[in-house]
Amino acid sequence: GRLEAVTQQMGYHPQYLDSFLKMQHYLMHMDGPLPFDCRHYIAIMAAARHQCRYLVNLHVLQFLRAGGDPQWLRGLEFIPPKLRNLNEINKILAHRPWLITKEHIEKLLKISEWSWSLAELVHAVVLLAHCHALTSFVFGCGCEQDEGLGGRGSLKALSLGNQCFCEATAGNSCSQELLRINRKRSLDSCMELDSLRERMQRIHVETEGREEVRLLQQDREEGEGQGTEVGVQGGSLWLSLLADPDGEVTGATNLACYMQDPDFGYQDFARRDEDQTQVFRVQDYSWEDHGFSLVNRLYSDIGHLLDEKFRMVDGLQSSAMAKRQGCEPSVFKRGIWNYIHCMFGIRYDDYDYAEVNQLLERMLKVYIKTVTCYPEKTNSEMFDRFWKQFKHSEKVHVNLLILEARMQAELLYALQAITQYMI
């Protein structure tokens, strides 16, 4: 029995892990406006924006488990127009959320037979923001780079039985249960492997034409070339599978099929000589006063779960990191949080941004910006080099702050646009 990588990393902070899993389980597996297969496909679309094969693999498996149509896994051209129309807002939220407007919201809500309801759209927006931010954590902690190599330092890319972190039921003692070695799931895991092989074989049976077969073969070879593999070790099903008719197991297909306009990426929000009227001022629209009530009204209880997660990461201890800078932990954490929000054009009128340069060393700022804005460019040296003298758990804490600050930033822009549309 082995622990899944993201769960193990967050396990350095068990209280946060409980809160995270509780929210994610509700988002992906409990009653809500969106069908279960669509939820996982939206997660695939979101993770693909940052080329996060790790999360795409996990949600491909969950998508198939939820009864999703295997043909959808061939790319955006094979999914319903309603779901495909979400691509534009996915792209903008992932890279330049300040460009979201009420016109984007209106377009999704008023496309005749393919229109979204407000509740569905809020559910989708939370999913997108959650998965975008989670890719930052995955790359920032090395889960993506080391998923098949046994991990970095004390990290190992692991799974708990046939249960991945995206479906675990969280409770008061959830993290303790997840951190126990589970050796009783080998039969279930093997049965799941066989079932998934059969499902993926049907894709090949249904695929017509030599050209399509050639493209599928090319995808498999690319997956093998990148070292993506699946193992059943100790009875554990590791990551998701794609199997050919002969039973050969390979990695996920080319992620480019799940996104459009791949060259669209992050750009610095504003330069000193540019008009600053676009700045998002928290005093005018905040999570506490506006976003929380809107999201909770349209998607019952998710607001409470998100709020608990935001508060939990704010309450984590970081005394060693703060002590080095000669400040209180709350001051240090606020510096990181406000720096991340500043990169997305979100400003706090009551904060002196000169503190950011005083609190955050250059190497830490480079790391935070890379993991936040273009996580796919993060490499293992960046994680190992930033603040070598601090514990692994403290580095994970920084990545949790990045995850939550980024998610809240995306939600603020999207929810503000929805509010403007409703007015």
| Contact in structure between 362 and 368 (CB atoms under 8 Å) | no
Give the span between the Cα atoms of 258 and 46, in whole angstroms: 9
User: Do the beta carbons of residue 407 and residue 287 sit within 8 Å?
Assistant: no
CA distance 276 to 256: 35
Tokens standing for residue 202: 């049907």
**What's the rounded Cα separation, in Å, for the pair 70 and 355?**
51
How far apart are the C-alpha atoms of 34 and 318, rounded to whole Å? 38
Contact 44, 258 (CB under 8 A): yes
Active site residues: 52
d(CA 65, CA 240): 11
Beta strands 346-347 and 280-281, pairing class: parallel
Cα 272 to Cα 348: distance, rounded to the nearest angstrom: 17
**Residue pair 159/234 in contact by the 8 Å Cβ criterion:** no
- HSE-up of 199 (CA within 13 Å, CB side)? 21
Query: By the 8 A CB rule, do 96 and 106 touch?
Result: no
Q: Where are the alpha helices (DSSP H) in 141-184?
A: 174-178
Q: Are strands 242-243 and 280-281 parallel, antiparallel or unpaired?
A: unpaired
